[in-house]
Structures are given as structure tokens and as C-alpha cells.
Amino acid sequence: MTQPTLSSLRFPIQYAEVTESLMRARGVSTTGAREHCGLPPADASEPTLWMDGHQLLRGIDLAVQHCLPGEPASLQILRHFPLTAHGTLGVFAITAATVGEALDIALQYHALVMPLFDFRRLPDHADGVQVRVEPVIDVGPLQSVLTELVIGVLRNVAPYTQVQHPVLHAEFAHACAGPLQPYADFFGVAPRFNAPWNGFTVLRDVLAAPLITGNRATRSHLEKVLLADAPHHDQARPLTQRVRQLLQGGLRKGMLPTAEALAHELAMSARTLSRRLQDEGQSLSRLLEQVRIERAEQLLREGRLSVQDVAVQSGFADASSFGRAFKRATGLTPAEQRDRLRAGR
């Protein structure tokens, strides 16, 4: 898959409004803010709907410059970052019936608005749903702030629910740059820093919680808008997410679907499935290996099974082929990864 460039990616112009909102809260004029980011003024005769990655980073950097000392910059920015700042996708998500449905929407379409990160839903476990959040491009000094924003903004679904406990449990691979308490106050529970990866968990009872803004008719209309938009943009990968879900479901049942079975489920031919995955920069073999490795990492982290049993439950023929594939994907042997994950608990 070709590495994207910042200039090739697009983001909703509403993200610029997040920076402007924070600046106004600090009593600072927003005049010239968009020009600083390389954007036309908000009252331009032809409104701009999207900005590229360079413009986004200038906007985030400008927001960070106007954050106050003593509290993490990401948390200050998140107070001005409602879900509706994601444009159509944000409104679409809060019309879902439950938190679980809203999460499914976010996972399927997130690349339309935040292609700097890849969201991977791991195989479900007893506690709920785990999602790994992986950067697609290293943006340097702003990487930690952006990672906290991308995961933290999902917590902002809380006002649309009646859930009394944390909506999600966050994990960050980087170190905590400041006091932990402000994070605990924002998320409802302290995130885990220096974790093996970036991601979050949504507990099972939270997934079933209804959204007070759920509306089936509006949701149906907005989904059509997104589906019409998605095929025209290389950064959208809705089919990839759907195939991953089907592979994970098959793996949980101990029966991985064939290419023909996947194509039948998706109402297309195997050749069309292969071509459309290629259009999204993916292949079935690559997705299959990702899903297997992710399942193996989950089982290794739980630590209840031998490497041989982990291999079988992850869909590999034997421990030898599993070990080779695992080291190719992670750079570690299964035993080394199990020790690393246990140490990171």
C-alpha cells in the first residue's frame, strides 16, 4: 500500500473551527487564523469544505500555542471538539440507536475525516470491544496530541447517552506528559500510558446503551450521503472494514470464510471483491494475516493458552507457520510478545 502524503489527505474544514473556538475562549481574535493555516477566510465567496494535512497540522499547532499551562493541550482542545466537528459523519454517528452502532459507524467511515490514523477493531472479548488506533503518518511533535485528540473525541459521545460510567477506557503508547488527574476527570477513568499500543475499550454494557439522539430516518438518509461520497475518495475504506468484520466473525467461530463465501455475503463476485479491495489499497491475504495476528496478540495477552493452542485458535495450521508469520508481522516471537504484553499490564 502506497504511503499517503499530507497533501493528498483531506479533512473537514470544521476542524479549523475547533481552533477558532479555543482562541475565542482565550479572548484572542481569530482574524488571520485561517490565513495562518493556508486556508481562505470563512466568508470567502466560494466556501472551502476540506483542508489538507499540512493545513490541519498548522491549525492543531495554532490551537496548542493558545493552550494554557498546567493542563494537557489535548484536553483543552477537546472541550471545543464536539462530534459534529466531524461534519456529516459526526451527525450520522449520533443518530445511531446505541453506542455500539455509533462505534460501528465510526470504524467504517473514520477514514473519510481522519485518515492520519487506522482504526482496527480487535476480536471481541468478554469485557467488550477493543479498538487499536495506529498512525498512518508520523507527524512529529504533534503525534501524541493528535493521538489523544482522535481517541478523546470519541468520549464526547457521552452527552448523547445516559451512561453514568466511562464511555471508553483509553490506552496510549506514549508517556503521560503531565498530571494524570485531568485525564481521569475527562475520561471518567485514568487512561493507561506507556501501553503496548494506542487504542481504547468500550465495555459491553456501554455498547448497548441507547443514544438520546437516535433517529432511524435521519440515519438512513445520512448513510446514503456518506455511501455516495465514499467511492470518490481514496482515503475511504468501507469495504476493508466490512471484510475485517466478516473475517473476525469467522475466526471466532473457528471457520474462516473463503474468498467466495465473503464475496457471496457482500453480494459481489470474488473478482470484484479483489478489485475493490485493491482500490482501497488492501488485499484479502493481507487482511487475513492482520486478523489472525490480532487474534493471536489478544490470546497471548490473556496468557491462558500455550503457543500451540494460540496458533490453532488464530487460524494457523501449526505453531511453526504461526511463529514465522507472527515474527514477520511484529518483529517478535510469540513468546517474546507474550512476555512484553504481560509486563505492560
Burial class of residue 276, CB neighbours in 10 A (0-12, 13-18, 19+): middle
Q: Report yes or no: 254 and 262 within 8 Å, Cβ to Cβ.
A: no
Write down the pLDDT at residue 48: 84
Write down the pLDDT at residue 231: 42
How confident is residue 150, by pLDDT bands cut at 50, 70 and 90? very high
Please check the confidence at residue 176 and state whether its pLDDT lies above 80: yes
| Residue 320 or 236, more confident | 320
Write down the pLDDT at residue 149: 98
| Residue 318 or 123, more confident | 318
Report, as an integer, the average pLDDT of 149-176.
94
Mean pLDDT of the chain: 88
Please check the confidence at residue 5 and state whether its pLDDT lies above 60: yes
Q: Report yes or no: 14 and 20 within 8 Å, Cβ to Cβ.
A: no
How confident is residue 77, by pLDDT bands cut at 50, 70 and 90? very high
Q: Which domains does the chain have, with CATH numbers?
A: 6-207 (3.90.1520.10), 239-345 (1.10.10.60)
CA–CA distance, 56 with 187 (Å, rounded to integer): 25
SS3 246: helix
Please check the confidence at residue 345 and state whether its pLDDT lies above 60: no
CA–CA distance, 66 with 78 (Å, rounded to integer): 13
How confident is residue 340, by pLDDT bands cut at 50, 70 and 90? confident
Distance of alpha carbon 289 from the chain centroid: 19
**Maximum Cα–Cα distance across the chain:** 65
Place of cell 503518518: 137
CA–CA distance, 218 with 162 (Å, rounded to integer): 21
Q: Report yes or no: 337 and 300 within 8 Å, Cβ to Cβ.
A: yes
Taking only the tens place, the pLDDT of each residue in 260-292 is: 999 888 887 888 889 888 877 789 998 999 889
Taking only the tens place, the pLDDT of each residue in 194-237 is: 998 999 999 999 999 999 999 999 988 988 887 676 544 555 56
Cell of 344: 505492560
CA–CA distance, 286 with 284 (Å, rounded to integer): 5
Q: Which of 60, 253, 258 is nearest to 144 (CA)?
A: 60
The string of DSSP letters for 274-331 reads HHHHHHTT--HHHHHHHHHHHHHHHHHHHT-S-HHHHHHHTT-SSHHHHHHHHHHHHS
CA–CA distance, 120 with 118 (Å, rounded to integer): 6
- Return the exposure string of 98-120: e unless at least 16 CB atoms fall within 10 Å of the residue's CB, then b: bbbbbbbbbbbbbbbbbbbbebb
